[in-house]
Amino acid sequence: MVKEGQPELGTVSIRVGFHSGPVVSSVVGNLNPRFCLFGDTVNTSSRMESTSERNRIHLTEAAAKSLTKQAPDAKLSCRGIVSIKGKGEMKTFWLEGFQDPEVEVGEGSHPSSKEHSHTMLDATPNPPGLDMYAAM
């Protein structure tokens, strides 16, 4: 819902793609400068978004590992192997929510989420300074 208490404003549906890896950033433009991110991480995140489903958060295996390390209460389900343009076959995951009832994903709690169990991944440490990037 756009605003609680005002359902007449409607709802918003989004797809989210999430990947973890290195990026290069820069301010681009003289007349209208913009901060931009570049690199394979941004492209992969965009591919996760384009292969996601409405109101779902689609993660690469690298992002899932980083997320479970940084937020151990995250509930993930394995989507399986997905063919990603320019990347080939990738093992991907859905973020189903969080075990802590204080943290919500919003409408991201998908009707099929009750069928999935919490998927634990080996928390391989990322290089220092590595963060995550999400495309919407």
Q: What is the pLDDT of residue 6?
A: 86
Token pair belonging to 111 = 């009707």
Q: What is the pLDDT of residue 70?
A: 93
Q: What is the pLDDT of residue 96?
A: 95
Could you give the residue numbers annotated as active site?
Answer: 47, 85
SS3 66: helix
Q: What is the pLDDT of residue 2?
A: 73
Q: What is the pLDDT of residue 104?
A: 54
Tell me how crowded residue 17 is: count the other CB atoms within 10 A of its CB.
24
Q: Write down the pTM of the prediction.
A: 0.67
| pLDDT averaged over 10-residue windows placed end to end, the chain, 136 residues | 82 91 94 94 95 95 95 95 94 91 50 38 40 51
Q: What is the pLDDT of residue 119?
A: 37
Token pair belonging to 28 = 């681009």
The alpha helices in 21-132, defined as continuous H runs, are 40-50, 61-70
Give, as one character, the DSSP assignment of residue 99.
S
Type of residue at 36: C
Q: What is the pLDDT of residue 88?
A: 95
Between the alpha carbon of residue 35 and those of residues 42, 49, 114, 132, the distances in Å are 14, 21, 40, 17
121 phi/psi in degrees, rounded to 5: -115, 150
Instruction: Give the largest CA-CA distance in the chain.
Output: 52
